Amino acid sequence: MSNVQAVHAGWVIPVEPDGVVLERHTLVIDGTHIAAIVPTASWRNDLGATEIDCRRHVLVPGFVNAHTHAAMSLFRGMADDLPLMEWLERHIWPAEARVAGREFVRDGTRLAAAEMLTGGTTCFNDMYFFGDEAAAAAIEAGIRAVIGLIVIGFPSAWASDVDEYFRKAEAVHDQYRGHPLVTSAFAPHAPYTVDDAALTRVATLAEELDVPVHMHVHETVGEIEGALATHGARPLRRLEGLGLLSPRLLAVHMTAVDEDEYELLARTGVSVVHCPESNLKLASGFCPVARLLGAGVSVALGTDGAASNNRLDMLGELRSASLLAKGVSGDPCALPAAQALRMATLSGARALGLDHAIGSLEVGKLADLVAVDLSALGTQPIYDPLSQLVYASQRSQISDVWVGGRHLVRQGELTTLDSDELRASATAWRSRIAEA
Amino acid sequence: MSNVQAVHAGWVIPVEPDGVVLERHTLVIDGTHIAAIVPTASWRNDLGATEIDCRRHVLVPGFVNAHTHAAMSLFRGMADDLPLMEWLERHIWPAEARVAGREFVRDGTRLAAAEMLTGGTTCFNDMYFFGDEAAAAAIEAGIRAVIGLIVIGFPSAWASDVDEYFRKAEAVHDQYRGHPLVTSAFAPHAPYTVDDAALTRVATLAEELDVPVHMHVHETVGEIEGALATHGARPLRRLEGLGLLSPRLLAVHMTAVDEDEYELLARTGVSVVHCPESNLKLASGFCPVARLLGAGVSVALGTDGAASNNRLDMLGELRSASLLAKGVSGDPCALPAAQALRMATLSGARALGLDHAIGSLEVGKLADLVAVDLSALGTQPIYDPLSQLVYASQRSQISDVWVGGRHLVRQGELTTLDSDELRASATAWRSRIAEA
pLDDT(B1) > 60: no
ω before A310 within 30° of 0 (cis)? yes
Mutate to test the interface with A, among B391, B413, B420 (most CBs of A within 10 A): B391
Rounded to a whole number of angstroms, the distance from the CA of B162 to the nearest CA of chain A is 32
Pairwise CB contact (< 8 Å): B388 & A77: yes
Whether chain B has a CB inside 8 Å of the CB on A21: the answer is no
What phi, psi does B329 have (nearest 5°)?
-85, -15
The pLDDT score that the predictor gives to residue B254 is 98
Which residues make beta-bridge pairs with A214?
A250
pLDDT surpasses 70 at A132: yes
Residues of B in contact with A394 (CB under 8 A): 311, 313, 316, 394-396
Chain A residues close to B306, C-beta within 8 Å: 392
A255 inside 8 A of chain B by CB: no
Q: What is the pLDDT of residue B368?
A: 99
- Nearest-neighbour CA in chain A from B254: distance (Å): 15
Residue type, B246: S
Phi and psi torsions of B82, nearest 5°: -125, 155
Starting from the edge strand earliest in sequence, which strands make up the sheet with A182-188, in order? A63-68, A121-126, A144-151, A182-188, A213-217, A249-253, A271-274, A298-301
Contacts of B210 (CB under 8 A, 6+ apart): B353
Chain B residues in contact with A310 by the CB 8 A cut-off are: 387-388, 391-392
| DSSP E strand stretches across A262-356 | 271-274, 298-301
- With beta carbons under 8 A apart, name residues in chain A contacting B81: 332-333, 336-337
Q: Give the residue from A75, A84, A304, A323 with the most B CB atoms within 10 Å of its CB, the best one to mutate.
A: A323
In sequence order, the 6+-apart residues with CB closer than 8 A to the CB of B23 are B10, B11
Contact assignment for A283 to B427 by CB distance below 8 Å: no
Q: Cα separation of A381 and A426, whole Å? A: 39
Read off the pLDDT of each residue in B418-424 and give the average, rounded to a whole number. Answer: 98
How close A425 comes to chain B (CA, Å)? 9
> For A399-403, what is the mean pLDDT?
98
Three-state secondary-structure class, residue A20: coil
**What are B163-210's pLDDT values in tens digits?**
999 999 999 999 999 999 999 999 999 999 999 999 999 999 999 999
Residue A171 one-letter amino acid: A
CA distance A204 to B191: 63
What's the pLDDT score for residue A336?
97
Q: What percent of chain B has pLDDT over 90?
A: 95
**A436 band by pLDDT with thresholds 50, 70 and 90:** low
Q: Chain A within 8 Å of B74 (Cβ-Cβ)?
A: yes
Q: Are A217 and A251 in contact (CB under 8 A)?
A: yes
Tell me: the pLDDT tens digits for A308-337? 999 999 999 999 999 999 999 999 999 999
Is the predicted pLDDT of residue A434 greater than 90, yes or no? Answer: no
Mean predicted confidence (pLDDT) in B236-253: 98
Of A94-98, B41-45, B262-266, B330-334, minimum mean pLDDT range: A94-98
Cβ of residue A320 closer than 8 Å to a chain B Cβ: yes
Closest Cβ–Cβ partner in B80, B286, B381 for A387 = B80
The pLDDT of residue A154:
92
Buried/exposed code over A110-125 (b: 16+ C-beta within 10 A; e: otherwise): bbbbbbbbbbbbbbbb
- Mind telling me how many Å the CA of A237 is from chain B's nearest CA? 25
**Euclidean distance between CA atoms B318 and B337, whole angstroms:** 9
Q: How far is CA A233 from CA A81, A147, A241, A318, in A?
A: 32, 30, 10, 33
Instruction: Report yes or no: B420 at the A interface, CB cutoff 8 Å.
Output: no
Q: Does B395 touch chain A (CB under 8 A)?
A: yes
Please give the Cα distance from A126 to A189 (Å, whole number): 11
Q: pLDDT tier at B291 (50, 70, 90 boundaries)?
A: very high
Across the interface, whether the CB atoms of A377 and B111 are under 8 A apart is answered yes
Find, in chain B, the residue whose alpha carbon is nearest to that of A220: B330
| Residue of B72, B76, B78, B81 to mutate when probing chain A, most A C-beta within 10 A | B81
Query: Smallest Cβ distance to A332: which of B78, B81, B336?
Result: B81
Q: Do B311 and A277 touch (CB under 8 A)?
A: no
pLDDT for A2 beyond 80: no
Can you give the pLDDT at residue A88? 86
For B434, name the nearest residue in chain A, comparing CA atoms only.
A383
Does residue B327 sit at the A interface (CB-CB below 8 Å)? yes
CA distance B174 to B82: 40
Test mutation, A90, A107, A339, A377, chain B, max B CBs within 10 A: A377
Among A76, A316, A326, beta carbon nearest to B280: A326
Q: Does A222 touch chain B (CB under 8 A)?
A: no
Q: What is the C-alpha radius of gyration for chain A, rounded to an integer number of angstroms?
A: 21
Cα–Cα distance measured from residue A76 to residue B380, given in angstroms and rounded to the nearest whole number: 7
Cα A88 from Cα A202, distance rounded (Å): 26
Using the CB atoms, write b or e for B269-288: b if 16+ within 10 Å. Answer: ebbbbbbbbbbbbbbbbbbb
Which residue among B313, B326, B392 sits closest to A77, beta carbon to beta carbon? B392
A24: contact with B, CB 8 A cutoff: no
Whole-number percent of chain A with pLDDT over 90: 95
* pLDDT at position B393 over 80: yes
- Angstrom distance (rounded) from CA A238 to CA A190: 12
Return the ∠ at Cα B353 (arms to B243 and B153), rounded to 5°: 45
The whole-number average pLDDT for the span B113-126 is 98
Q: Is B308 helix (H, G, I), strand (E, B) or coil?
A: coil
Q: Provide the 3-class DSSP secondary structure of residue A435.
A: coil
Q: For each of the domains in chain B, give its residue range(s) and CATH number, in order of start.
A: 4-60+369-403 (2.30.40.10), 63-351 (3.20.20.140)
Is the CB of B378 less than 8 angstroms away from the CB of A324?
A: no
β-pairing, B406-410 with B413-414? antiparallel
Of A282, A326, A430, the CB nearest to B382: A430
Question: What is the tens place of the pLDDT at every residue in B25-83?
Answer: 999 999 999 999 999 999 999 989 999 999 999 999 999 999 999 999 999 999 999 98
Q: Residue B166: how many CB atoms within 10 A of its CB?
A: 18
B271 touches chain A (CB under 8 A): no
- Determine, for residues B281 and A312 on separate chains, whether the beta-carbon distance falls below 8 Å: no
The H or E element containing residue B385 is: helix B385-387
Side chain identity at residue B278, one-letter code: S
The pLDDT value given to residue B436:
60
Q: What is the pLDDT of residue A30?
A: 97
pLDDT tens for A222-275 read 999 999 999 999 999 999 999 999 999 999 999 999 999 999 999 999 999 999
Q: Which of these, A390, A371, A369, lies nearest to A379 by C-alpha position?
A: A390
Which of B187, B193, B186, B190 is CA-nearest to residue B154? B193
C-alpha span between B433 and B99 (Å, rounded): 7
The torsion defined by the Cα of B241, B243, B244 and B246, in degrees rounded to 10, comes to 120
- Cα dist from B252 to B33, B213, B274, B289, whole Å: 30, 10, 6, 12
Indicate the average pLDDT of chain B.
97
Q: Tally helices (H) and strands (E) across chain A.
A: 16, 16
- Reply yes or no on whether the pLDDT at B369 is more than 60: yes
- Amino acid (1-letter code) at residue B193: T
Give the separation between CA B122 and CA B62, rounded to whole angstroms: 5
Whole-number pLDDT of residue A421? 98
Residue range B303-322, pLDDT digits in tens: 999 999 999 999 999 999 99
Contact B181, B144 (CB under 8 A): yes
**How distant, in Å, are the alpha carbons of A168, A171, A195, B322, B400 from that of A161?**
11, 15, 12, 39, 53
Q: Which residues in chain A touch residue B73, judged by CB atoms under 8 angstroms apart?
A: 380
Residue A42 confidence class, pLDDT cut points 50, 70, 90: very high
For the stretch A154-192, pLDDT in tens is 999 999 999 999 999 999 999 999 999 999 999 999 999
Task: Please tell me which residue of chain B has the smallest CA distance to A285.
Answer: B327
Is A391–B311 a contact, with Cβ atoms under 8 angstroms apart?
A: yes
Residues of chain A contacting residue B434, judged by C-beta atoms under 8 Å apart: 383
**d(C-alpha A40, C-alpha A47), whole Å:** 15
State whether B332 and A396 contact (CB < 8 Å). no
Q: Please name which of A332, A298, A342, A372 lies closest in space to residue A18, comparing C-alpha atoms.
A: A342
What pLDDT, on a 0 to 100 scale, did the predictor assign at position B85? Answer: 81
A:85-144 residues touching chain B, CB 8 A cutoff: 87, 111, 114-115, 118-119
Query: In degrees, to the nearest 5, what angle opens at C-alpha A114 toward C-alphas A216 and A405?
Result: 100
Residue A83, pLDDT score = 83
Q: What is the pLDDT of residue A87?
A: 87
Stretch A355-364: mean pLDDT, rounded? Answer: 98
Contact A7, A55 (CB under 8 A): no
Q: How far is B434 from chain A (nearest CA, A)?
A: 8
Distance CA A259, CA A173 (A): 37
Cβ-Cβ contacts under 8 Å, A115 against chain B: 377-378
Interface test with A, best of B121, B380, B435 (most A CBs within 10 A): B380
A352 near A183, Cβ under 8 Å? yes
For the stretch A70-99, pLDDT in tens is 999 999 999 999 987 888 899 998 999 899
Over chain A, what is the mean pLDDT? 97
Q: Which of B279, B377, B390, B421 to mutate to test the interface with A (most CBs of A within 10 A)?
A: B377
Contact A76 B395 (CB under 8 A): no
